Amino acid sequence: MFVIRILFAGYAREWRCSHIVFKIQDHYLPLRLRDKEIDINKKYEELRGSVKSILNLVVVGHVDAGKSTLMGHLLYLKGIVAQRTMHKYEQESKKLGKQSFMSRGVTVDVAHRTFETSSKTISLLDAPGHRDFIPSMITGAARADVAILVVDASTGGFEAGFETGGQTREHAILTRSLGLSELAVAVNKLDSVDWSQERFKEIVTSLKHFLKTVGYRDSDVTYIPCSGLTGENLVEPPRDTALKNWYSGPTLLEAIDNLPVPERAINRPIRFCISDVYKGQGSSMCVGGRLETGYIQNGDRLMLMPQGDIATVKGIQAENLEPGYSFAGDHVTLNISGIDPTVLHVGDFLCDPQEPIPQTTRIQARIVVFNITVPIIKGSQFDFHYQSVNGMARVKKLVSQLHKSTGQIIKNRPRALVKNSSAVIELEFERPLCLEVYKNYKELGRFMLRNNGVTVAAGMVTQIN
Ligand SMILES: Nc1nc2c(ncn2[C@@H]2O[C@H](COP(=O)(O)OP(=O)(O)OP(=O)(O)O)[C@@H](O)[C@H]2O)c(=O)[nH]1
């Protein structure tokens, strides 16, 4: 397809003629994001100063660890899920042969709920635990600030999730690799082992050792003994003497409240990653997603990347937030106009037109290789997962192999990368992707490489070529 650029006074416009796209752009009067700048720090203080900070939380863990039951029960105790709904699911679960009152159907129902802790509003992003769901778990985790890792404390249950093939390890590696630096570990189903302190200690010891190798410091992780089924130690301190006798730490809700809210980069250029697209009223479109950096207000003109089209923001909506403004870290729906719906895709970015996100077909990256069986060589192909983006990537060059802990080069141009190694590589994409260098935009510079449903490596973009 041809793109013809004509220099012309006025805003950037675009129209199509057969297969030729004309773009009229003025380089002397560049398209402005907004006509007047406001004191954004003052505005933020005015709008959000007295509002509880929002923490985006993802719940991860091995299949059947009890994630839905746990979060469903917590929401019920907080008065968010009605008893009638709980009863309905209990009946349905019984019919399905599950003891739990939460079936997979509830996992969907529970997704995207908000609830309050004493100092925060928690936006809950649920993530199914089954192996097939890892890509959606990556999407969930990529949008979260912090994570709860749910482990099954029942006899053999923890081991099933923790040994090779279980998702406990993989999920912990993924959350860390995606930049979630603090973790609350719900040691769930402890009722099934009579609240055994030995069992709790055994699980904590195994996890502590493993989580350290992944990059979590001991002080970044809190372990909470609990039961999603009985509701013990979720919102209220334990009542069961078998647990009360040896545990006086935080409840799950307190542990969530203690998780830190990352600093919101509201003064940086706009980076809004689209994770949902649907039709709005009239000719407008709605795009859902997370504003990674900057702030957006009604009337802003944003550039859609990688396409380069210009959209105007007509409305901003989010649960429990004031309309008309969105700040870094918010999950919002934008109502936009002036854009051809056929060019909008999940994974695209809306940006400041004067400082759009770079797009590229080639990057240099530092990767950590997981427990693979087939070594990575020049020419290896992978699914590249990043934010809501998914594309094909080929290894163009193995630049150097690094020492895992010191990061020093131990070999230049290695012929292959084996399991648990660390390296600098060059990747080439099938189609242009919008990315940032990790050191400039932490959230936009991390990715995963997957092959045949298995996560092969996690990486950080070090250079955009
Ligand atoms: N004893 C006991 N059993 C539990 C508890 N929580 C969940 N279960 C059982 O664990 C099974 C799985 O619970 P779910 O909540 O569906 O697990 P999940 O992790 O959401 O499952 P997926 O969404 O399929 O990954 C249920 O059938 C319950 O019987 C608990 O606290 N104690």
Q: What are the boundaries of each domain within the chain? A: 54-258, 266-351, 359-464
**Whole-number pLDDT of residue 101:** 42
**Whole-number pLDDT of residue 102:** 42
| pLDDT for residue 2 is more than 70 | no
Domains 266-351 and 359-464 share a fold: yes
- At the fourth CATH level, which superfamily is domain 359-464? Translation factors (2.40.30.10)
Q: Using an 8 Å Cβ cutoff, are 461 and 363 in contact?
A: yes
**CA-wise closest residue to 177 among 224, 213, 223, 222:** 213
φ/ψ (deg, to 5) at 439: -70, -25
Residue whose CB lies within 8 A of the most ligand 1 atoms, among 59, 60, 63, 64, for a mutation test:
64
Residue whose CB lies within 8 A of the most ligand 1 atoms, among 100, 154, 167, 200, for a mutation test:
100
**CA-wise closest residue to 432 among 369, 376, 348:** 348
Q: Comparing 238 with 38, which gets the higher pLDDT? A: 238
What's the pTM value of the predicted model, to 2 decimals? 0.70
Residue whose CB lies within 8 A of the most ligand 1 atoms, among 58, 60, 67, 69, for a mutation test:
69
| pLDDT for residue 385 is more than 60 | yes
Can you tell me the distance from the alpha carbon of 356 to that of 354, in angstroms, rounded to the nearest whole number? Answer: 6
| DSSP H or E segment with residue 74 | helix 67-77
β-pairing, 120-126 vs 301-305, is unpaired
| pLDDT tens, residue by residue, 259-305 | 988 878 899 999 999 988 998 777 789 999 889 899 999 999 999 99
| pLDDT for residue 16 is more than 90 | no
Name the pLDDT band for 105 (thresholds 50, 70, 90): very low
277: Cα within 13 Å, side-chain hemisphere? 18
| DSSP 8-state class, residue 102 | -
| pLDDT for residue 346 is more than 70 | yes
**Whole-number pLDDT of residue 286:** 93
DSSP helix/strand/coil, 453: coil
- Dihedral of CA atoms 246, 249, 253, 259 in degrees, nearest 10, equals -140
Q: Comparing 66 with 107, which gets the higher pLDDT? A: 66
Q: What is the mean pLDDT of residues 185-204?
A: 97
Torsion-angle region of residue 253: left (phi > 0), alpha (psi -120 to 50) or beta?
alpha
Can you tell me the distance from the alpha carbon of 274 to that of 286, in angstroms, rounded to the nearest whole number? Answer: 10
**CA-wise closest residue to 283 among 244, 335, 333:** 335
Can you tell me the distance from the alpha carbon of 30 to that of 11, in angstroms, rounded to the nearest whole number? Answer: 8
| pLDDT tens, residue by residue, 354-373 | 999 999 999 999 998 877 88
Q: Which atom number of ligand 1 is nearest to the Cα of residue 130?
A: 25
Residue 255 Cα to ligand 1 midpoint, Å, equals 21
> Ligand 1: which residue has its CA nearest to atom 21?
64
Residue 3 tokens read as 């793109």
Q: Which of 16-30, 220-234, 325-339 has the highest mean pLDDT?
A: 220-234
The CATH-assigned architecture of domain 266-351 is: Beta Barrel (2.40)
Residue 79 Cα to ligand 1 midpoint, Å, equals 21
| Pocket of ligand 1, beta carbon within 6 A | 61, 63-69, 98-100, 102, 104, 107, 128-130, 188-189, 191-192, 227-229
β-pairing, 446-451 vs 454-464, is antiparallel
| pLDDT for residue 99 is more than 50 | no
| pLDDT tens, residue by residue, 39-49 | 888 888 888 87
Q: What separation in angstroms does the CA of 343 have from each of 285, 305, 308, 348? A: 11, 10, 10, 10
CATH number attached to the domain at 54-258: 3.40.50.300
Q: What is the mean pLDDT of residues 384-390?
A: 82
What mean pLDDT value characterizes the chain?
82
